[in-house]
Amino acid sequence: MEWGLVLAITGGAIGVILAGIGSSVGIGLAGSASNGVMSEDPEKFAPLLILSALPGTQGIYGFLIGIILILKLGMLAGKIPSISFSQGLSIFFSCLPVGILGLISAIHQGKVCTSGVYMVAKQPKDFVKPMVMAVFVEFYAVLGLLTSLLLLQGIKL
């Protein structure tokens, strides 16, 4: 068994899984609050949909890094290169920023969006304000994505 390849694939999987868990929790928080508000006022569906969906972007970032890793390894072409242990370890750690930052920021973005849902329930015209607050949290997930992307691109196979 080639341990470098195992480490590389494990790192990619962890990045995807952690970001996906964070997005699931964040969407669950905001979506639950949105459902409660819409049970009283179904006309608020559009702004609540956006607030509920925002924490899902971190899962997309993790998935993107997973796809980039699959392409880098040549897994779709069926030509998987021989990867040393140190290369595998480098790839493993390169995938962690998107996973860890995705996990944490998606959960916190879900909390911010949940508060925004309650704000929209009382003041529908102020929909943009909670969106801006949610974007502040998103910024750190984007930094995790860029860090993982740049680190992966720097690893020569």
* Model confidence pLDDT, tens digit, residues 31-84: 999 999 999 999 999 999 999 999 999 999 999 999 999 999 999 888 878 899
CATH code at position 117: 1.20.120.610
Instruction: Give counts: helices (H), strands (E), the chain.
Output: 6, 0
Q: What is the per-residue pLDDT for 80?
A: 79
CA angle, corner 120, sides to 115 and 125, nearest 5? 140
Q: Contact at 8 Å (CB) between 50 and 133?
A: no
> Residue 1: pLDDT band by 50, 70, 90 thresholds?
low
* Model confidence pLDDT, tens digit, residues 25-36: 999 999 999 999
- Percentage of the residues of the chain whose pLDDT score is greater than 70: 99
pTM tops 0.95, yes or no: no
Q: What is the per-residue pLDDT for 143?
A: 97
- For residue 44, the enclosing domain spans 3-153
* Whether the predicted pLDDT of 16 surpasses 90: yes
> What would the mean pLDDT of 104-115 be, rounded to a whole number?
98
Q: What is the per-residue pLDDT for 81?
A: 81
Q: State the total domains in the chain.
A: 1
What b/e readout covers 123-135, taking b as 16+ CB neighbours within 10 angstroms?
eeeebeebbeebe
